[in-house]
Structure 1
């Protein structure tokens, strides 16, 4: 029997008895880790193993946001410090070939650190194209200021993560770079016309549409669907994500507990899945909300089930190279941008 079409967080460093029972009964496709779930290597490995035992699937997905810079759940001494995306962009402006090599090495290094702890999916790379006045929720998480630069560095990160045995996630589809408010707290609205968006914001995603997993953004595009954010919009998902961009991989919603979405979280989960998301993502670890999301999520079936299987298979059996050598290569290349 396939898993249910949602990913859940948990509350702490170990699963509570209630959480273990919930995961056993609700059978989510995956678990996502945050800082509250991280204390030591042994603890993380035990937590991921306990989750997989609860759901009865050795290959159950475990996700994390390990980008580098501000968004790095594993931090020293548990992992090496990783630079923000903009550091690679600065190098790309003066030496594109070196920047691509650095980004790939950096991503393979991240994958090696994650895979050793049982983490199989990293919510990276961010393909949002920065614009003047954008919210600093993106800021230096953006790789470059052109679609070509974002796509080149995003491709390098995808390749590095896959080489290291971790599945990548392109986000936030179809583009969060024009948002002027943080969707963690408010719902952004973009007023740019469709032709402009297709030529700029959507383009990095179109170029990397073969990535095995993608994540939506909670953002309204007035020119496409003025009434619903992308996560809840069958128009945006159907016409843009699956249509213009051509993405046919596993589509996750962004975190349904973010304040950009209003109303009961279970209703948001149902609407996201009805709109075309394959997986409803819920992160805050609050049991009452977890139960609502689980109740709204059916078993994965049909094309969604195939996408979920393909997503995990994309990186299965691969292993990162020498992590010390990868770190040295990344840092040596990045020094050119700061010289």
Structure 2
């Protein structure tokens, strides 16, 4: 990964244009992320992923996707099975903790197998936010539960399942999106909850899962901690909360830097995110002019950021061939039926 720069890029379509190939080769994003606009049929996805990995220059070039289950699945049948949202797993856990934890692991393991069939090796899962009743619905059933301990247990099991399948998990949205009063795709959520309460609830699952290899920031302003800067742009939140209190020393990637929660020039926002302590900046919409700005602000990975990126990549391995996937799927289907 020598020479990779501190950003993650998204192709605009199902195939790379000649301009994208030249641009990505020159600007060396650390990884890439795919969306529904990038997928059609199996061979097309495999070809696109192979080309992106080749441009990255290493077999472990991260190729991310958001494949959670429920509302958030970029790959749909027939490319991959439908999965229930995290809240369904939480319901099983509430009645039978052992079954719920096993179900979370199995979903992670099956997701990994689905993705690795195409060469996709990183999944922006688990979502370990703890929602509150008065929060915006953007998290909603993407959360496992409203209990921090249950969220941590199930999120950790899902992450372990992904890792068992050779896929890099990314927990989100650190240090917690559960109280957000707006959809950060469209506006900046503001959380006024005191820090001690945030520490007891919102931060708790991330603290329990501090050894996971990667996390994605929350575009949320926590007024009791930094009344001016959203977490992604806040050195105070990243240093005092994420690194120190939560104890997370893995790769920290921003949520999509082009989301409407963050206002301003994208080059400036990218530089501010990196200066605040993000290791890499994520850009998702594939807009070429925007990508030029992000790439211009991103610097070559070095120091702690490079160390964390290398450690995150070490979670990526070849697709496992010795696991009995049909048996795992049958066990999974039986457990899912309990929550139906």
TM-score where L is the length of structure 2: 0.97
CA contact (8 A) 1:127 1:143 kept: yes
Q: Which moved more, 1:128-137 or 1:28-37?
A: 128-137
Distance in 1 between residues matched to 2:63 and 2:266, nearest whole Å: 22
SS in 2 for 1:29: strand
What is the CA-CA distance between 1:8 and the residue it aligns to? 0.7
CA contact (8 A) 1:163 1:318 kept: no
Task: Show the counterpart of 2:328.
Answer: 326
Q: Over residues 230-285 of structure 1, what are the superposed CA-to-partner deviations in whole Å (9 max), with x where a residue is unaligned?
A: 00000000000001000000000000010000111111111100000001000000
Q: From the superposition, tell whether residues 228 and 130 of structure 1 become closer, same or farther in structure 2 (CA, over 3 Å).
A: same
SS in 2 for 1:6: strand
Residue 212 in 1 paired to residue 213 in 2?
yes
What is the CA-CA distance between 1:54 and the residue it aligns to? 2.6
CA contact (8 A) 2:31 2:56 kept: no
SS in 1 for 2:95: coil
Distance in 1 between residues matched to 2:53 and 2:105, nearest whole Å: 29
What is the CA-CA distance between 1:180 and the residue it aligns to? 1.4
Distance in 2 between residues matched to 1:243 and 1:91, nearest whole Å: 34
Alignment of 1:112-127 (within 5 A): 112-127=113-128
Distance in 2 between residues matched to 1:195 and 1:280, nearest whole Å: 29
SS in 1 for 2:7: strand
Residue 81 in 1 paired to residue 67 in 2?
no
CA contact (8 A) 1:171 1:215 kept: yes
Task: Show the counterpart of 2:101.
Answer: 100
Backbone CA RMSD of aligned residues? 1.0
Q: Over residues 171-229 of structure 1, what are the superposed CA-to-partner deviations in whole Å (9 max), with x where a residue is unaligned?
A: 00000000111000000000000000000000000000100000101000011001000
Distance in 2 between residues matched to 1:52 and 1:185, nearest whole Å: 31
CA contact (8 A) 1:2 1:305 kept: no
Distance in 2 between residues matched to 1:115 and 1:328, nearest whole Å: 19
Give ranges in structure 2 of 5+ residues lacking alignment: none
Distance in 1 between residues matched to 2:320 and 2:70, nearest whole Å: 24
Alignment of 1:24-103 (within 5 A): 24-103=25-104
Distance in 1 between residues matched to 2:44 and 2:283, nearest whole Å: 22
SS in 2 for 1:93: helix
Give ranges in structure 1 of 5+ residues lacking alignment: none
CA contact (8 A) 2:5 2:27 kept: yes
- Of 326, 335, 338, the residue aligned with 1:336 is 338
Q: Which moved more, 1:4-13 or 1:321-330?
A: 321-330
What is the CA-CA distance between 1:326 and the residue it aligns to? 1.9
CA contact (8 A) 1:106 1:326 kept: no
Q: Over residues 33-54 of structure 1, what are the superposed CA-to-partner deviations in whole Å (9 max), with x where a residue is unaligned?
A: 0000010111111001111223
Q: Which runs of 4+ in 1 moved over 6 A?
A: none
Distance in 2 between residues matched to 1:18 and 1:276, nearest whole Å: 31
What is the CA-CA distance between 1:91 and the residue it aligns to? 0.6
Q: Which moved more, 1:328-337 or 1:1-10?
A: 328-337
Task: Show the counterpart of 2:262.
Answer: 261
What is the CA-CA distance between 1:318 and the residue it aligns to? 5.6
Residue 158 in 1 paired to residue 195 in 2?
no
Q: Over residues 138-192 of structure 1, what are the superposed CA-to-partner deviations in whole Å (9 max), with x where a residue is unaligned?
A: 0100001100000010011011000011010110000000011100000000000
Distance in 1 between residues matched to 2:87 and 2:121, nearest whole Å: 25
What is the CA-CA distance between 1:327 and the residue it aligns to? 1.9
Distance in 1 between residues matched to 2:177 and 2:167, nearest whole Å: 24
Distance in 2 between residues matched to 1:75 and 1:87, nearest whole Å: 18
TM-score where L is the length of structure 1: 0.98
